């Protein structure tokens, strides 16, 4: 589950870091267009592929959810009481809120949008703490969620990227802290403590360590790392479906012959293969085509 928390920290870092380092002046229109073309094509493709299952076997889609899925809210990534058609879609609702807020801040303060956004998110978090929302207020729940602190942490790392130290002693200290935080996660049940208090220290120090290592020139096989980064979004969207599909086949036909460990390993490999195919033959060419058309308009 902590993968989601790390994902939000990375998002906060990457969005600001790329805007700061871009040779072109970032505009609100350009930023929103790039974010939408990055998020929606793959998300809509997988969502459309789930529609037959949703209509024919509705019990197979978000069977544990308390409220029914709203297709309109799901396709537009608008928070709703029901779970999105794709289970991980709830995290993209937070991403969309972050993008919209970043675009608005960029429109008013082009050079330092992160300062406006950090102040806004901290205010919203405080509102959420002192005036908590209920599950019947999904939009307000997203807007005032403590999960926004992850975007703040990521943006702070990007803002002070050059000042992040990379000495052996500092890296060792952060690494020791990371170990302590991670052991703490294993020592307590998730239900006993707020998610952010539980996961934030490990999620934030994980990203910080990778930034420190990369600044030192320590990169695991550059080509492999770039490939992993490229397919990461397709992998994120499709992995639950691959695991679920193979899991159902295993329960129906293979449980007596194949161990759960082997099945899970197979599901992970299947997810990576499907994500690579989706990125290479859909995500990459579609995004390129859309942006080429836009540049000619």
pLDDT of residue 191: 57
Within a domain: 31: yes
* Res. 67: pLDDT tops 70: yes
* Res. 190: pLDDT tops 70: no
* Res. 66: pLDDT tops 80: no
Within a domain: 84: yes
Task: Quick: pLDDT tens for 19-32.
Answer: 988 766 778 888 99
Within a domain: 284: no
Within a domain: 24: yes
Pairwise pLDDT comparison (17 vs 61), residue with the higher score: 17
* Res. 153: pLDDT tops 70: yes
Is residue 297 very low, low, confident or very high in pLDDT (cuts 50, 70, 90)?
low
Domains in the chain, number? 1
The 10 Å Cβ neighbour count of residue 95 is 19
Q: Can you tell me the mean pLDDT for 109-123?
A: 93
pLDDT of residue 121: 97
Gap between the Cα atoms of 68 and 61, Å rounded:
10
Sole residue written with tokens 């060792």 = 172
* Res. 56: pLDDT tops 70: yes
pLDDT of residue 65: 66
Within a domain: 172: no
Phi-psi region of 20 (alpha: psi -120 to 50; beta: other; left: phi over 0): alpha
Pairwise pLDDT comparison (64 vs 263), residue with the higher score: 263
Within a domain: 23: yes
- Cα angle for residues 145, 93, 151 (degrees, 5° grid): 55
Is residue 220 very low, low, confident or very high in pLDDT (cuts 50, 70, 90)?
confident
Q: What is the pTM of this model?
A: 0.92
Pairwise pLDDT comparison (218 vs 275), residue with the higher score: 275
Within a domain: 211: no
Using alpha carbons, select from 239, 168, 196 the residue that is nearest to residue 94.
196
Q: Check: CB of residue 266 under 8 Å from CB of residue 246.
A: yes
Using alpha carbons, select from 124, 170, 175, 181 the residue that is nearest to residue 147.
124
Using alpha carbons, select from 4, 12, 5 the residue that is nearest to residue 155.
12
Is residue 63 very low, low, confident or very high in pLDDT (cuts 50, 70, 90)?
low
Phi-psi region of 214 (alpha: psi -120 to 50; beta: other; left: phi over 0): alpha
Within a domain: 237: no
* DSSP three-state, residue 82: coil
Is residue 216 very low, low, confident or very high in pLDDT (cuts 50, 70, 90)?
very high
Which residues lie closer than 8 Å to 65 by C-beta, 6 or more apart? Answer: 82, 83
Q: Which domain holds residue 24?
A: 1-161
């Amino acid at each position: 589950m902590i993968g989601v928390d790390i994902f939000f920290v990375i998002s906060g870092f990457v969005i600001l870091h790329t805007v700061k380092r871009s040779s072109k002046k970032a505009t609100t229109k350009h930023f929103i267009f790039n974010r939408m073309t990055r998020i929606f094509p793959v998300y809509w493709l997988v969502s459309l592929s789930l529609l037959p299952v949703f209509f024919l076997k509705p019990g197979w889609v978000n069977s544990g959810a308390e409220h029914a899925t709203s297709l309109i809210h799901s396709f537009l990534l608008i928070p709703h009481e029901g779970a999105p058609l794709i289970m991980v879609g709830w995290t993209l609702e937070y991403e969309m809120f972050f993008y919209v807020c970043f675009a608005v801040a960029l429109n008013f303060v082009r050079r330092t949008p992160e300062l406006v956004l950090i102040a806004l998110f901290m205010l919203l978090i405080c509102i959420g703490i002192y005036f908590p929302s209920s599950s019947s207020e999904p939009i307000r729940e997203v807007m005032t969620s403590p999960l926004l602190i992850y975007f703040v942490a990521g943006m702070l790392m990007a803002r002070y990227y050059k000042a992040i130290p990379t000495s052996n002693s500092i890296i060792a200290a952060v690494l020791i802290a990371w170990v302590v935080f991670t052991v703490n996660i294993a020592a307590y049940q998730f239900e006993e403590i707020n998610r952010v208090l539980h996961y934030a220290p490990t999620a934030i120090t994980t990203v910080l360590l990778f930034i420190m290592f990369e600044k030192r020139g320590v990169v695991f096989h550059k080509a492999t790392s770039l490939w992993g980064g490229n397919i990461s979004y397709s992998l994120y969207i499709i992995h639950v479906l691959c695991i679920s599909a193979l899991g159902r086949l295993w329960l129906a036909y293979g449980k007596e012959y194949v161990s759960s460990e082997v099945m899970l390993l197979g599901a992970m490999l299947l997810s990576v293969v499907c994500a690579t195919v989706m990125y290479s033959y859909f995500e990459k060419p579609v995004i390129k085509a859309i942006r080429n058309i836009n540049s000619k308009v």
